[in-house]
Amino acid sequence: MLKLAILCLVAFGTLNFASPCRAEEKSTKTGTKVKLIVGDTVIPAFLNDSKPAKALLAKLPYTVNLQNYSHDYCGVMKDALPYEKAELHSGWKNGDIAFAVDGNYFAILYKDEEISEQYDGMVTMGALSCDPSVMETLAGSISVKIELD
């Protein structure tokens, strides 16, 4: 009976987990809705109108392998994305999806926003549309398929 109760709590939490959408809080720009698919987990997100985001949208569906680090999931993209120098900045907001130009890195930055200014050479391409802590439920190495929503 206890196992069933725990299973119900986990299922209930999963159904409501994506409800605290915060994409509007992260950007005043409109975006294209996408979903990040990691196994059975579907994470709602959006891509903005930056040059690298538009280039990524043209490649969809796109799969990238990512590794979990202290505050992000990051992986090298096969091809560099174009960007404008004016789009480069330091730091992130928790939940941002970014392109780090120094190594063709695709990154989902889910925590440590308060210390992020020390990291530069990034272009924000969008953001998760749910609580970024969803990333903490994933394995250390993941394959993310990005599709239009």
End-to-end CA distance of the chain: 38
Residue 61's pLDDT is 98
Residue 117's pLDDT is 97
CB count, 10 Å around CB of 134?
Answer: 20
* Range list of H helices, 18-118: 23-26, 51-59
Residue 12's pLDDT is 31
Give Cβ neighbours of residue 8 (< 8 Å, ≥ 6 apart): none
pLDDT above 60 for 24: no
Residue 4's pLDDT is 30
* Range list of H helices, the chain: 2-17, 23-26, 51-59
Residue pLDDT, tens place only, 42-95: 999 999 999 999 999 999 999 999 999 999 999 999 999 999 999 999 999 999
Tell me the one-letter amino acid at 32: T
d(CA 145, CA 36): 6
Q: Say which CATH topology domain 21-148 has.
A: Cyclophilin (2.40.100)
Tell me the one-letter amino acid at 118: Q
- Please report, for the chain, the start and end positions of each structural domain, with discontinuous segments joined by +: 21-148
Token code pair at residue 41: 């987990």
pLDDT above 60 for 17: no
Residue matched to tokens 């930056």: 50
Cis peptide before 61 (omega within 30 of 0): yes
- Return the percentage of the chain with pLDDT > 90, whole number: 80
